[in-house]
Amino acid sequence: MLELIPKTNIDFVGKRYIFFALSGILLAAGISSLIFKKGPRWGIDFTGGTLVEVKFTNPPPVENIRKALAEKKLSSVEIQTVPDQGIFIIRSQAKTKNNIAEQDDIGKLIQNSLEESFKEQSPILLRKEFVGPTVGRHLIRQTSAAFLLTFVGIIIYTAFRFHSGIWGMGGVLAIIHDVLATIGLFSLLNKEITVTIVAALLTIAGYSINDTIVVFDFMRERLRFRKNESLYELINQSINTTLSRTIITNLTVFLVVLTLYFFGGEVIHDFAVAMIFGAIIGTYSTIGIATPLIYEWVEVRSKKNKPFK
């Protein structure tokens, strides 16, 4: 296996309180922002809004349409294209959920803005309607259920595979840490939580638990052959052994999403932000949260560092 950082001997467990403090500050900042702003800034899929579908005989660039709408103070807008048909689907977030008259005015504003800015492209209105938040509420319930079932499944799987439920709890707490930190970052940056960002959160959770399971596997192997090794040494050596692999794996993801951030365009920009942060925080939580929490739990229960059995 390629080793990016060979033969490290870092005392990660000894630095666990530094990691816990950094995580506490990060989560406190994000949660404070969420409380101050009364929750995440939900996207159109969750709040509802106005949908306008327009066809152009000579389609302009998406960025030109976005700029034209921004000049009309319509900044909370999602634009989708239908390739090779010159069709643009524009959705503007609802300011109020039930004010249909207001949404009709927003629809007319979008229509008039496009007709004024792109007269030569001959925009043709195909449909204009109000989209309610019902699907969004259903999606929130489904997403919450997916996360809950995932957490339960991880705890059961790790408890069976590693013969200890606390290992599963460590992995789940690391996932919760990563998801909350990402949502908090979006709140601090005043970015919307859309369906695409929910997909990014689920992806981040997957990468996080994957790295954690790799470290747990090394811990299990060392337990099998080094029964007299203390838990302190066991965790440190397992993290140091897998450190190069963890960094290479997440660096690959980081470089890909960094490319998406700079060259992927406005539509995928927020997804790239979430994945960039997720690649960093996922690596950090494996090293600084999941395994140190296991040590802290055992240490609190035993009150001294005995060989781990």
d(C-alpha 194, C-alpha 225), whole Å: 48
Length of the chain: 309
CATH number of 13-42+135-302: 1.20.1640.10
What mean pLDDT is reported for the chain? 81
Half-sphere exposure of 154 (CA within 13 A, CB side): 25
Q: How confident is the model at residue 272 (pLDDT cuts 50, 70, 90)?
A: very high
The 10s digit of each residue's pLDDT in 94-125 is 554 444 445 557 778 888 888 888 887 778 88
Half-sphere exposure of 44 (CA within 13 A, CB side): 18
Out of 117-121, 129-133, 234-238, pick the least confident: 129-133
Percent of residues, the chain, with pLDDT higher than 70: 88
Output the pLDDT for position 97: 45
Q: What is the mean predicted confidence (pLDDT) over 253-259?
A: 88
Output the pLDDT for position 6: 67
Out of 119-128, 137-146, 205-214, 245-254, pick the least confident: 137-146
Output the pLDDT for position 100: 46
Domain boundaries along the sequence of the chain:
13-42+135-302, 49-132
Output the pLDDT for position 96: 45
Other residues' Cβ atoms within 10 Å of the Cβ of residue 114:
24
Both tokens of 92, joined, read 């503007």
Please name the fold of domain 49-132: Alpha-Beta Plaits (3.30.70)
Contact predicate 289/23, CB 8 Å: yes
d(C-alpha 156, C-alpha 134), whole Å: 33
Report whether pLDDT(5) > 70: no
The 10s digit of each residue's pLDDT in 288-307 is 998 888 888 887 777 654 54
> Of 4 and 182, which is predicted with more confidence?
182
Beta-carbon contacts of 62 under 8 Å, excluding residues fewer than 6 positions away, are: 79, 81, 88, 265, 266, 267
Contact predicate 43/192, CB 8 Å: yes
Output the pLDDT for position 82: 75
Output the pLDDT for position 309: 44
Report whether pLDDT(3) > 70: no
Q: Residue 307 — left, alpha, or beta (φ > 0 → left; ψ -120 to 50 → alpha)?
A: beta
